[in-house]
Amino acid sequence: MTPTDPAGPSAGWRGLAAVIASAGIVGITYGCLAPLLALLLEKQGHPHWAIGINGSAGLAAAILLAPLVPKAFARLGFLNAMLLAVLGEVVCILLLLVWRDIWFWTLLRFAIGFFGTIQWIGSETWIVSAAPAALRGRVIALYMIAISAGFALGPVVVDATGSGGSGAFLVAAGLILAAGLLIWSARGIAPKLPEAPKAAFLVAFRVAPLVMAAALLAGFVDMGLLTHLVNFGRAAGFSEETALKMLSVLLAANLVMQFPVGWLADRVDKRRLIVVFGLVFFLAPIAVNATVGTSLFLWPAMIVWGICSMGIYTVALTVLGERFGPALLSSANAAIVALYQLGGLSGTFAGGAGMDLMGNPGLMWVFSAAGLLFLCFAAYRTCQRGRAPRSRM
């Protein structure tokens, strides 16, 4: 379904609005649950390594089970799978109130992660397939803005309801239900996807390997920064307030500049844009290490890095609509989601290991090394394309 299909352009745009709004609401829920559960587990006296395992359960679910999501769409129907995921999330969130045991919560977070992955892949597949080609980058940018804003509002929910009692859990469950109602309201215009061919998940890697590498890099750096940047700032001599501002500036640049990134993706060669963003991933950490003692130059580096940190994922999604037909689209999107989460899991651990082995600057050296590896892979793909002009991206 696209806004220009026979059902009418207004129907297509209503569907896009519903799924983008739904994704934003889901973002609020996950932005609420992550700090809420971490706070409660810390109050229960659990060690940080155990809290870390609990927090990683959702990532593990996305990495391990994302390849199954296209099959769920084919067997259950696209809309049915998304609505069943909503029901599963609500049940699991309410079960968090039943038994406050860390390992029971870890199992529930794994289940929530799987159901959330269905929603994540479903939402992005819907948006990529429904957005008109000339506007796809900007439509995806609006989706990324909704998600980012949702995550930013999540901690506000915890602050408003408090971490004690059941209030935050009930609000989270209610938000997921609201997201499901939005999806249900667009039931007549949900995309109809043909069943994916065998090994479609692996085919996606062969068709667009650079895009898949970009998703891996984005997750590696995004989650590593979210986990370690504040501690990096404090160890560099900044106050806690200034260290938090470093993260805030990065996230604000990410949020404010998403639409211009989407606009740019609609107008320039997307492969070159991805490579330019990869260059920033290589250079920005070096600039941060070089300017960390001179705040005047530090902030521009954080702003540019923030623009590219999620911008590379936005452009990668835009490419999916060009490179993959309906039969492969959900599998390609599942591959991107799994790689982003794998990057997030590995980036969190690699960033911490870099700080332990090389001191505070080690965090930035790890991120810069990841950017360099991506650029080397891009150069390798360029050489391949030069030898075979019709080779894949």
pTM score, whole prediction: 0.86
Give CA–CA dist 261/164, Å, rounded: 40
Cα–Cα distance list, 297 to 225, 277, 290, 362 (Å): 19, 20, 9, 20
- Nearest alpha-carbon partner for 219 in 154, 138, 312: 312
Q: What structural domains and CATH numbers belong to the chain?
A: 9-189 (1.20.1250.20), 200-387 (1.20.1250.20)
pLDDT on residue 281: 96
pLDDT on residue 4: 42
pLDDT on residue 84: 96
pLDDT on residue 195: 74
pLDDT on residue 214: 95
Predicted confidence (pLDDT) per residue in 239-280, tens digit: 878 888 888 888 888 888 899 999 999 999 999 999 999 999
Predicted confidence (pLDDT) per residue in 142-178, tens digit: 999 999 888 888 888 888 888 888 889 999 999 999 9
pLDDT on residue 164: 81
pLDDT on residue 391: 47
Give CA–CA dist 362/374, Å, rounded: 18
Residues of the chain with pLDDT under 50: 1-6, 391
| Average pLDDT for the chain | 88
